[in-house]
Amino acid sequence: MSVLVVVEHDRGEMADASLEAFAFAGDLGAQLGVDVEALLIGASAGALADACAAHGAVTVHHTDHEALVDYGPEAYGFVVAAAVESLSPAAVVASGTDRGNEVLASAAARLDLPFVANCLSVTAESWEVTRVQWGGSLNEVAHLESATPVLSVAPHAVTSNPPADGSSASVQTLDVDLPDSVVATMIQDRIVLSEGVTLATAPVVVGGGRGVGSAEGFDVLEALAGRLGGVVGCSRAVTNNGWRPHSDQVGQTGTRIAPQLYIACGISGAIQHWVGAKAAKKILAINTDPAANMVVKADYAIIGDLFEVLPAITAEL
Ligand X SMILES: Cc1cc2nc3c(=O)[nH]c(=O)nc-3n(C[C@H](O)[C@H](O)[C@H](O)COP(=O)(O)OP(=O)(O)OC[C@H]3O[C@@H](n4cnc5c(N)ncnc54)[C@H](O)[C@@H]3O)c2cc1C
Binding-site ranges for ligand X (CB under 6 A): 209-211, 235-237, 249-254, 266-268, 270, 272-273, 276, 286-289, 292, 305-307
Q: CA dihedral defined by 274, 278, 282, 285, rounded to 10 degrees? A: 0
The closest alpha carbon to 13, from 70, 56, 94, 60, belongs to 70
Task: List beta partners, residue 205.
Answer: 231, 262
Burial pattern 8-35, b for ≥16 Cβ within 10 A else e, equals bbeeeebbbbbbbbbbbbbbbbeeeebb
Pick between residue 37 and residue 248 the one whose CB is nearest to ligand X: 248
Q: Least separation, in Å, of the C-beta of 210 and ligand X?
A: 4
Q: Least separation, in Å, of the C-beta of 266 and ligand X?
A: 4
Pick between residue 288 and residue 314 the one whose CB is nearest to ligand X: 288
Q: What residues have CB less than 8 Å from 218, skipping those under 6 apart?
A: 208, 212, 232, 234, 243, 244
Helix 98-111 with 73-87: angle, nearest 10 deg: 50
Pick between residue 182 and residue 224 the one whose CB is nearest to ligand X: 224
Pick between residue 46 and residue 213 the one whose CB is nearest to ligand X: 213
The answer to whether 61 touches 85, Cβ cutoff 8 Å, is: no
Q: Least separation, in Å, of the C-beta of 201 and ligand X?
A: 18
Pick between residue 127 and residue 307 the one whose CB is nearest to ligand X: 307
Q: Least separation, in Å, of the C-beta of 5 and ligand X?
A: 29
Q: Least separation, in Å, of the C-beta of 78 and ligand X?
A: 33
Pick between residue 118 and residue 252 the one whose CB is nearest to ligand X: 252
Q: Least separation, in Å, of the C-beta of 145 and ligand X?
A: 31
Decide: residue 182, CB within 10 A, 0-12 exposed, 13-18 middle, 19+ buried. buried
How far is CA 167 from its chain centroid?
A: 26
The closest alpha carbon to 22, from 225, 205, 167, 226, belongs to 167
